[in-house]
Amino acid sequence: MSRKFISQKGQFFSPDLIIAVGVFIFTLALFFTSSNSVFARVGLVTDQKAADEVIHSVLNSLVFSSGSPSDWDSRNLSDVNSFGLAKSSNILDENKFSALINDLNTPSTYLQTKTKLGLGEYDFYLRLVDRGNSEVLGGGKVSQNPRVKLLYERIVLYNSRQLVLQGIISLQGQ
Amino acid sequence: MKEKGFIITVDSFISTTLVLVFVLVSFYYLSNISLNAWNTVDARTLVFDEGAVLEKSNALENSVKLVSSEPLLTSLNATPSGYCFEATVFDATMTNPIIHAIKTGCTKNSTKLISIDRAFVVRENAISTFYIARVDVWGQGA
């Protein structure tokens, strides 16, 4: 390199280098800014996808299965292997639905109930709504300031009425 | 090459540009990720539910016996908001639509339609007749 670009104190100097470093830092800053927002979005979509799979699976079990044992609603919660609400597919048993809502609404049984439902770390709120979106019966918990919150719906018959079963799954924000 | 300028060679300029374009294109596609595929799964699940509920609530049988779309319409109007449903009852040959109902407030102009067919039997005066119900769903506003 020509000697005129090197100062007397031994520091390297060049207008070209300053521009090059400026462009490099600008590109690097742009990359990190963009990557942070993109990775945050990808992370959120991944979280939503995981929650979606869980809620699909849970509501499928509730709507299609009678649970195990099939008379779980008349037993202790510790004896329940899995929950199910179906008399037959898409027709809900009123007693089982009331029993599950009662377990979800009771603080001492909420955690055990959602664990047996296969919900893991997610909070869960289950309800039946009519065509005016008014709640007929429901219970559970929705996370405060949730990072992920999803609503999943199934069409069911309850007490000979066509209603919509809504499951709300949520995950506490960090 | 001249002494001035920070681009050393044309090769490095092209490679840097290609890397930048690659990164930007990747970011563009990553930022467009959505859960639209799951909406289709939800609609498919709901149309199967509605088919089952129409049959088990006897709405299909009653509509045939009464020759009225009212039982079908009552059921379709009780489906979740955000989705449009249509039900058509055909005879066994699937050529003649007998009864038809569409959810109130919906018009069928969507190309993203999901359909199921469900067979059912109506027994009247000791005679059993075979029918097929077609239920369609699409997103409201889709």
Enumerate the domain spans of chain B.
Answer: 36-139
Q: Is A90 on the interface with B (CB under 8 A)?
A: yes
| Total number of domains in chain A | 1
Closest C-alpha to A146, from A172, A115, A111 = A172
Tokens read off for B26: 């990747």
With contact defined as beta carbons under 8 Å apart, do A104 and A82 qualify?
Answer: no
Give me the pLDDT at residue B105, please.
92
Sign of CA dihedral A143, A145, A149, A153: positive
pLDDT of residue A1: 47
The separation between CA B29 and the C-alpha centre of its own chain, rounded to angstroms, equals 24
Report yes or no on A2 lying in a domain.
no
Residue A110: exposure state from Cβ atoms within 10 A (0-12, 13-18, ≥19): middle
In a domain, A4, yes or no: no
- Determine the average pLDDT of the residues in B14-41: 76
Cα separation of A164 and B42, whole Å? 13
Q: Does ipTM come in above 0.95?
A: no
Q: How far is B23 from chain A (nearest CA, A)?
A: 9
Per-residue pLDDT of chain A (174 residues; tens, 9 = 90+): 445 555 555 566 677 777 878 888 888 888 888 788 778 878 888 888 899 999 999 999 999 999 999 999 999 999 999 999 999 999 999 999 999 999 999 999 999 999 999 999 999 999 999 988 899 999 999 999 998 999 999 999 999 999 999 999 999 876
Is the Cβ of A160 closer than 8 Å to some Cβ of chain B? Answer: yes
- A164 to chain B, minimum CA–CA distance in Å? 7
Residue B3 touches chain A, beta carbons under 8 Å: yes
DSSP helix/strand/coil, B120: strand
Ramachandran class of B140: left when φ > 0, alpha when ψ lies in -120 to 50, beta otherwise: beta
Note whether residue A69 is domain-resident: yes
Give Rg (Cα) of chain B. 27
Predicted local distance difference test score (pLDDT) of residue B136 = 95
3-class SS string, chain A: CCHHHECCCCCECCHHHHHHHHHHHHHHHHHHHHHHHHHHHHHHHHHHHHHHHHHHHHHHHHHHCCCECCCHHHCCHHHCCECCCEEECCEECHHHHHHHHHHHHCHHHHHHHHHHCCCCCCEEEEEEECCCCCEEEEEECCCCCEEEEEEEEEEEEECCEEEEEEEEEEEECC
User: Are the Cβ atoms of A41 and B34 closer than 8 angstroms?
Assistant: no
The neighbour count for residue A60, using CB atoms within 10 Å, is 13
In a domain, A5, yes or no: no
Domain span holding position A109: 13-172
Mutate to test the interface with B, among A54, A64, A162, A165 (most CBs of B within 10 A): A162
Q: Do B45 and A154 touch (CB under 8 A)?
A: yes
Cβ–Cβ under 8 Å, residues A49 and B35:
yes
Whether A57 has its CB under 8 Å from any CB of chain B: the answer is no
Q: In the A/B pair of chains, how many CB contacts fall below 8 A?
A: 71
Residue A122 lies in a domain: yes
Q: Could you tell me if residue A40 is inside a domain?
A: yes
Is A75 at the interface with chain B, CB within 8 A? no
Residue A6 counted as domain residue: no
Query: Which ranges of B1-98 would DSSP assign to H, the alpha helix?
Result: 10-31, 36-56, 59-66, 70-76
CB within 8 Å: B46 and A52: no
